[in-house]
Structure 1
Amino acid sequence: MNEERMQAVEQLQRDLAVTVETVEHPNGLCRVTASAKGELKAVHLHPALLNQGPQAVGEVVTETARLATNAAVQTSFNRMALALGDGMAIDVESIAGDSPFRSTWNPVVPPKSAAPEAPAERRPRTPILDDPDEDAFFENPFGRR
């Protein structure tokens, strides 16, 4: 059993060493292949990107490289969870930090309207009178408050 686990860990290490991901920038002008260590294996630029100037090229390449590296790291987390189990993956995340896709996850928030909402009118509080018959509360629990 222990020998099988050691072989699985060695196989996982070999798999993680060669894990790369290729990501295309959302504008379609750049494609980068990167490893989980951040090594850029390939960078492909569309000629139209070069016409936008060096600042734009740098920003697009940097952003695409970050996306590709995050994808490779996420693939590594996924492979580790498959090989070692979710419990071990959770332990690794507690040490190394959240996986890229978990740390960039944002819940959908409805857009705020342009006009500020008027505060809701508050009804004046009605005092709760002492009722000697407590059964009245249980007959209609919403009528007392």
Structure 2
Amino acid sequence: MAAVNEERIQATEQLRRDLEVLTATVEHPNGLCMVTASPKGEIRALHLHPALLQQGAQAVGEVVTETVRLATNAAVQTSFNKMALALGDGIAIDVESIAGDSPFRSTWNPVVPPKPAAGDAPPERRPRTPIVDDPDEDAFFENPFGRR
């Protein structure tokens, strides 16, 4: 019993350290903005395509805000996944019952990209980076009762 408690304490301490530095990088669906954010919504990096700046201040604000929200949600989801791996699904489910559903489990609100101005050529599309870079990202959702 003491060994199990010691493992839990070590897992909790490691989880705390991991969550302090956790970020997620997301590209807006229109390819004009990329944001790296923490689960707290802190913006760590922001990259704007020059074509976005030509669309005006309101379009820039909307795209940046949407991309920050997507990056923050991805970081929060990654933190839920790490918590489930470190502490077990039972505790993750308990946290979700208190904090609310994880971002990717709650209702998805797709982003609508702004319409390009007349005469503007759309930017060249690059392959998207995955939203959540976690090889075990679906383990919690595949069978929440199978892991303890």
What TM-score results when the alignment is normalised by the length of structure 2? 0.70
Alpha-carbon offset, residue 105 of structure 1: 4.3
Larger radius of gyration: 1
Within 2, Cα distance between the matches of 1:10 and 1:104?
Answer: 32
**1-structure distance, mates of 2:87, 2:7:** 12
Q: How far has the Cα of 1:66 moved from its partner?
A: 0.1
Aligned pairs (5 A) from 1:55-134: 55-105=58-108
Q: Distance in 2 between matches of 1:105 and 1:67?
A: 11
CA drift of 1:68 comes to: 0.1
**1:25 maps to 2:15:** no
1:8 partner letter: A
Give the deviation of 1:7 after TM superposition: 1.0
Higher relative contact order (CA 8 A, sep 6+): 2
Normalised TM-score (structure 1)? 0.71
1:40 paired residue among 35, 39, 43: 43
Matched positions, count: 106
Distance in 1, matches of 2:28 and 2:42, equals 17
* Residues 49-84 of structure 1 deviation map (CA, whole Å, 9 limit, x = unaligned): 000000000000000000000000000000000011
5+ residue gaps, structure 2? 110-148
Give the share of equivalent positions with the same residue, in percent: 83
Q: Distance in 1 between matches of 2:108 and 2:50?
A: 32
Runs (4+) of structure 1 exceeding 6 A deviation are none
